[in-house]
């Protein structure tokens, strides 16, 4: 079977690694555009993730049996619609279903229509209207009780959590000045601010049936103790302690089922990977956001526990046969520590020589997924903000973390930064 994975980050390296590990005898892997780490296990094809027609033509010409889409932008832009329109098998939601991620206002209105628990919200169609909502006192007088979000895709930069009124209005001015682009900020959401631990529940869905993955937690801020600016994610864990079975049961019946049923009822059955970002509030679990794809770096920590053939899961999703498949996971815990370049997340330095990777290559208990590296003269170089995701399993979280950090200590480059508190907060 020939499989094409679309994307170029640590998430796609982990997907390729899992495909190759669980189905190596029968699969040949391609990745567009991939990265230098992915090139070790898949044939990288230099086509941009947003060039749908070129990707579909490549899939036709190379007789690709199945394509898996990693990132959100091509899903929102209709890559799956293009592939399906040309009779190509593909794993991922069509653009209609991808609106659950590409428009936060759509997602909130969807949740309201289906009584899915989430933070109270208002949608404004201009900065001035958003300011009027803040001034109305509807979300509290001090405005430290609100979250402000741009509607559209903003690569993690569209969410503001102001600690006072001044910061709240400064956030609106940032949106007015176009930090996230005009299109993404056409609508602005004002939300009630919730509190509690966060957990991510991801699932496979074929439109009829679904299967949950182990719950994960990521660490979004650059600095230890959750300080500093937001990033794409500086680390992630999976562990039974993240969510107890009673709460998971509530998530399944009050959130997962009504979400998937809502998609069916509204005429866009969800096929692909759904990622539900939750906050476990004192009043029960609440949805913060939907993503219509695997998370990065949640995927790295999740897939190292997968025992079932990932290619078989993808085939079952694309053929509507997930109901016949039981998916097995190792009972371990897992962790992924992201190593980033100096300057990330603002402006990352690139081109530094990475030392210590060779010594980790043959380790069975640690997997180093590449997010942004390049190769020159036999050396590994940094090529972006998030560079590597050092990932390990263990019989409990402590063991998984100590394996990760033991391996991290062997890697080094000028300007390497990482959080030492992954899994601890
Ligand atoms: P989102 O991209 O919508 O998940 O928001 C990014 C992060 O902002 C989340 O992971 C939360 O930490 C935080 N956040 C979003 N919405 C809320 C909310 N209503 N209350 C508190 N924190 C939130
Ligand atoms: N780690 C969060 C995301 O992939 O959106």
Provide CATH code, domain 333-408: 3.90.600.10
The pLDDT averaged over each successive group of 10 residues in the chain (425 residues) is 97 96 77 97 97 98 98 97 98 98 97 98 94 89 82 84 89 87 86 95 98 96 91 95 97 98 98 98 97 98 96 96 97 98 96 96 93 96 98 98 98 98 89
What are the φ/ψ torsions at residue 330 (nearest 5 degrees)?
-70, 150
CA of 98 to the centre of ligand 2 (A): 15
Q: Cβ contacts of residue 7 below 8 Å, gap of 6+?
A: 15, 31, 49, 69, 70, 71
Residues with beta carbon inside 6 Å of ligand 2? Answer: 218, 233, 291, 295-296, 298
How far apart CA 170 and CA 162 sit, in angstroms, is 9
All structural domains of the chain with their residue ranges: 2-94, 126-186, 198-324, 333-408
Question: What number does CATH give the domain 2-94?
Answer: 3.40.50.20
Q: What is the pLDDT of residue 142?
A: 61
Q: Contact 79/100 with Cβ under 8 angstroms?
A: no
Q: Which atom of ligand 2 is nearest to the CA of 236?
A: 1
Q: Quick one: how many helices (H) and strands (E) in the chain?
A: 13, 23
Whether residue 288 has its Cβ less than 6 Å from ligand 1:
yes
Query: CA of 168: how far to CAs of 173, 183, 415, in Å?
Result: 9, 21, 33
Distances, alpha carbon 174 to alpha carbons 63, 85, 170, 183, 236, in Å: 47, 40, 6, 14, 29
> For residue 287, how far is its CA from the centre of ligand 1 (angstroms)?
9
Ligand 2 pocket test, pick from 157, 232, 278 with the greatest ligand atom count within 8 Å of Cβ, gives 232
Angle between helices 165-176 and 127-135 (to 10 degrees): 170
**Parallel, antiparallel, or unpaired for β 2-7 and 66-69?**
parallel
Nearest ligand 2 atom to alpha carbon 218: 1
For the CA of 119, the nearest atom of ligand 1: 19
Task: Write down the pLDDT at residue 229.
Answer: 86
- Specify the DSSP element, H or E, that contains 110: helix 104-113
Peptide bond into 345 cis (omega under 30): yes
Cα 338 to middle of ligand 1, angstroms: 21
The stretches of 189-309 forming alpha helices (DSSP H) are 245-250, 257-265, 298-303
| Residue 191 Cβ contacting ligand 1 at under 6 Å | yes
| Residue 92, Cβ density class (10 Å: 0-12 exposed, 13-18 middle, ≥19 buried) | buried
Q: Residue 384 and residue 350: Cα distance in Å, rounded?
A: 6
What separation in angstroms does the CA of 103 have from each of 110, 152, 266?
A: 11, 5, 16
For ligand 2, what atom is nearest to the CA of residue 293? Answer: 4
CB atoms within 10 A of CB 327: 17
DSSP string, 122-184: EEESSHHHHHHHHHTTTT-SSSTTEEEEESS--TT-SEE--SSHHHHHHHHHHHHTTTT-TTT
Reading the block at residue 245, the tokens are 């079975």
**Measured between alpha carbons, how far is 93 from 77 in angstroms, rounded to an integer?**
11
SS3 state of residue 240? helix
Class of the CATH-defined domain 198-324: alpha beta
3-state DSSP of 29-97: EEEEECCCCHHHCCEECCCCCCCHHHHHHHHHHCCCCEEEECCHHHHHCCHHHHHHHCCCCEECCCHHH
- Tell me the sheet residues that pair with 33: 7
């Amino acid at each position: 079977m020939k499989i094409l994975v679309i994307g170029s980050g640590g998430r796609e390296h982990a997907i390729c690694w899992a495909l190759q590990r669980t189905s190596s005898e029968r699969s040949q892997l391609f990745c567009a555009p991939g990265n230098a780490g992915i090139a070790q296990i898949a044939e990288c094809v230099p086509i941009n993730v947003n060039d749908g027609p070129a990707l579909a033509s490549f899939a036709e010409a190379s007789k690709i049996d199945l394509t898996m889409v990693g990132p959100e932008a091509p899903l929102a832009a209709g890559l799956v619609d293009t592939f399906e329109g040309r009779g190509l098998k593909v794993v991922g939601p069509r653009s209609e279903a991808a609106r659950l991620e590409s428009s936060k206002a759509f997602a909130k209105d969807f949740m309201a229509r289906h009584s899915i628990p989430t933070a109270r919200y208002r949608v404004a169609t201009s900065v001035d209207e958003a300011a009027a909502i803040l001034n109305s006192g509807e979300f509290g007088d001090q405005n430290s009780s609100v979250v402000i979000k741009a509607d559209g895709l903003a690569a993690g930069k569209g969410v503001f959590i102001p600690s006072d009124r001044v910061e709240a209005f400064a956030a609106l001015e940032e949106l007015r000045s176009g930090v996230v682009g005009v299109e993404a900020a056409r609508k602005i959401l004002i939300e009630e601010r919730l509190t509690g631990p966060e957990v991510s529940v991801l699932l496979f869905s074929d439109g009829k049936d679904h299967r949950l993955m182990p719950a994960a937690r990521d660490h979004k801020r650059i600095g230890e103790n959750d300080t500093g600016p937001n990033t794409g994610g500086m680390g992630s864990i999976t562990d039974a302690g993240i969510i107890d079975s009673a709460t998971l049961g509530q998530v399944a019946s009050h959130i997962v089922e009504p979400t998937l049923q809502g998609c069916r009822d509204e005429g866009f059955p969800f096929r692909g990977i759904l990622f539900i970002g939750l906050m476990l509030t004192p009043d029960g679990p609440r949805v913060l956001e939907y993503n219509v794809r695997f998370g990065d770096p949640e995927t790295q920590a999740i897939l190292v526990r997968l025992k079932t053939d990932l290619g078989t899961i993808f085939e079952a999703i694309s053929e509507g046969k997930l109901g016949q498949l039981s998916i097995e996971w190792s009972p371990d815990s897992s962790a992924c520590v992201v190593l980033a370049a100096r300057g990330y997340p603002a402006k990352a330095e690139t081109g530094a020589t990475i030392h210590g990777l060779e010594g980790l290559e043959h380790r069975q208990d640690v997997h180093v997924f590449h997010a942004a590296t390049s190769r020159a003269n036999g050396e590994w170089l940094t090529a972006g903000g998030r560079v590597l995701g050092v990932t390990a399993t263990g019989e409990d979280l402590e063991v998984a973390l100590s394996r990760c950090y033991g391996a991290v200590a062997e890697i080094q480059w000028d300007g390497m930064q990482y959080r030492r508190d992954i899994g601890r907060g």
